[in-house]
Chain A
Amino acid sequence: GENVEQHPSTLSVQEGDSAVIKCTYSDSASNYFPWYKQELGKGPQLIIDIRSNVGEKKDQRIAVTLNKTAKHFSLHITETQPEDSAVYFCAASKGGKLIFGQGTELSVKP
């Protein structure tokens, strides 16, 4: 079955710097890749997603890139702000069932 690996597990950046989180997946048939942000005591919130027919997608300070050949995808956050501090999860899906990565705890220091 599908397996998703996410790195790094923790990431600390200075406010204004960029942050990059990377995920690899094992099943080449996976065709949908969402990213979620989870704040303490809350459920995961979808922040951006990409489908396998697209290589890159951007939404303001957030972008996701997908390399189908290498089977990896990445989340890029530019101009980080303290409110970006949270746990971020990637996921891969084939047929609607999501397989999640282990999560990255992002800390943005003022």
Chain B
Amino acid sequence: DAGITQSPRHKVTETGTPVTLRCHQTENHRYMYWYRQDPGHGLRLIHYSYGVKDTDKGEVSDGYSVSRSKTEDFLLTLESATSSQTSVYFCAINAEGGQPQHFGDGTRLSIL
């Protein structure tokens, strides 16, 4: 398995609270991605990073922010969580943009 660790693996929180999910990699890969997975939608890209402090938006970025201060860590933040952000969140990495992406095991987030 690719060296990707997501934390926490499960979280339950209330509407309006801030939430931060962490993705940690040991592969020294340049690219990191955050996806959300919802029934009937497959996986949808939220944000991605192509280097330290270099990030860009994906197709469903509203309500989310990201930060990457070190190569190995990519953080996803929900500033004020809403029930529509209840989902399973996956982190992925690859060495270059056109190379296969490898996924972590996900964080199940429930917002009540």
Which A residues fall within an 8 A CB radius of B?
1, 4, 6, 32, 34, 36, 41-46, 49, 89, 93, 95-103
Residues of B within 8 A of A102 (CB): 40-42
Identify the 9 closest CB pairs spanning chains A and B, nearest first. Answer: A96-B97, A100-B42, A43-B103, A100-B43, A43-B105, A102-B42, A44-B103, A46-B100, A43-B104
Distance (whole angstroms) from the CB of B100 to the closest CB of chain A: 5
Question: For chain B, which range describes its interface: under 10, 10 to 19, 20 to 34, or 35 or more residues?
Answer: 20 to 34
Residues of A within 8 A of B75 (CB): none
B43 lies within 8 A of A97 (CB): no
A100 lies within 8 A of B44 (CB): yes
A40 to B58, CA, bound (A): 26
Residues of A within 8 A of B19 (CB): none
B78 at the interface (CB under 8 A from A): no
Interface residues of B in 33-87 (CB under 8 A from A): 40-45, 48, 58-59
Residues of A within 8 A of B48 (CB): 97
